[in-house]
Amino acid sequence: MSKKVGRSFWLLWLIANVIGNMLLSSFVWEDPYDMRSRIFLNEILHGVGISIAQSLVLRDRFAKEGWWLPLTMWGWILGLAIVFFLPNLSLRSHAQNMPSLSILMIDFALIGTIVGICQWQLLKSFRAAGGWLLASPIALSLSTLGLYFGYMAKSTILASALQGAIYGAITGFTAIKVLRSPKVRK
């Protein structure tokens, strides 16, 4: 690591997650999409935006940063595919209506687990990397609170900003803890 990881890193990580979450997803909130399709497309674009934003923040701070983007995107796509295509999970069973908050939280915890495992592959050389496996699903699950309130307020900007802020705040604190921890000897 050539740059320090501290408060400025956390703030930059938070801003990157908010912008990454908001930037691309604003294109899918047109009327022709049903709610299920909007959520699915929105979350794919959130995954792409967050992956790019996080990769930019990790540049010069993490030796394996080049793999962050593809592994994070793979985790989002795999997690969304599982949640979307398994019939017992929310995005498939609620075609026109907004899924309940509890179902969204469970689904996003599943997505966060998969994303976290993919990202952990790069972080596992750090002693505190196991914390990432807990933080990722918790952060993504809790981020649905922002998403949900934004949907209820019918504001895509608010939904995306709150979701990105919650996810970024939690994972940012964890990223600092992980990246500051000593490397594991092999």
> pLDDT tens across 133-154, in order?
999 999 999 999 998 888 788 8
What's the CA gap between 62 and 26, in Å, rounded?
30
- The yes-or-no verdict on residue 97 having pLDDT over 70 is no
- The yes-or-no verdict on residue 12 having pLDDT over 50 is yes
Tokens describing residue 137? 């699903």
Mean pLDDT value of segment 117-142: 95
pLDDT of 29-45, one tens digit each? Answer: 555 455 666 667 777 88
What's the CA gap between 84 and 8, in Å, rounded?
36
Higher pLDDT, 126 or 62: 126
Sorted by sequence, the CB contacts under 8 Å of residue 53 that are 6+ apart come out as: 16, 17, 19, 20
Residue 30: φ, ψ to 5°: -85, 160
Tokens describing residue 60? 């010069």
Q: What is the pLDDT of the chain when averaged over all its residues?
A: 83
Provide the 10 A C-beta neighbour count for residue 44.
19
Query: pLDDT band at 126, cuts 50/70/90?
Result: very high
pLDDT of residue 156: 77
- Among the residue ranges 84-88, 131-135, 178-182, the one predicted with the least confidence is 84-88
Mean pLDDT value of segment 152-178: 91
Query: pLDDT band at 22, cuts 50/70/90?
Result: confident
pLDDT of residue 134: 97
pTM of the predicted protein model = 0.86
